[in-house]
Amino acid sequence: MDQRVSIITLGVSDLQKAKAFYDGLGWKEVEQTAGEEIIAYDLHAMTLTLYPWDKLAEDAGVSSERAGSSAITLAYNVSSESEVDETITHVKTLGATITKPPQKAFWGGYSACFQDLDGHIWEVACNPFSKLGPKGEFQWLGVNE
């Protein structure tokens, strides 16, 4: 198995509300297949999709009963602490719940966390120990230099 992720699919309770949230981030939806109940956003080297939670659970063969919050965190890295602050301010206007306000992080960076409308946890971080590539792609220091 190659070391990569191709698609991240988030199960959502209301597809149109979730779409409005991610559109509000300034993301552009890719063309959909007619009749499909899926929203896709091309990211750099992967795709994020939104899919009704009950259908995602059925497809994966798991219970559609939800308990607690997401067991993963999706990270969005930026170049400066002020970008962390600006991003958190913006997602709050879209209805996100801020779970950790912007602050110095124990690992030496600056970060904040929010939950989208379906409780998916996102971290917004400025990491002084890494860099962003020309298209915003995250790179550990020392990698591909």
State how far the alpha carbon of 93 is from the alpha carbons of 88, 111, 114, in Å: 9, 18, 12
76, 53: one domain? no
CA of 18: how far to CAs of 22, 95, 105, in Å?
A: 6, 10, 29
Pairing type for strands 121-126 and 73-78 reads parallel
Q: Do 145 and 76 lie in a common domain? A: yes
pLDDT tens for the 145 residues of the chain, in order: 877 788 899 999 999 999 999 999 999 998 765 557 889 999 888 888 999 988 888 877 878 887 555 668 899 999 999 999 999 999 999 999 999 999 999 889 999 999 999 989 999 999 988 878 888 877 776 444 4
55 and 90 fall within a common domain: no
For residues 6 and 50, state if they share a domain. Answer: yes
The residue type at 48: L
Please indicate, yes or no, whether residues 4 and 52 belong to a single structural domain of this protein: yes
pLDDT value at position 107?
A: 86
Domain with 6 in it: 1-61
Amino acid present at 76? Y
pLDDT at 67: 57
Say yes or no: 87 and 145 in one domain.
yes
* Count of structural domains, the chain: 2
- The pLDDT of residue 68: 56
Q: Which of 42, 61, 80 is the last residue of a domain?
A: 61
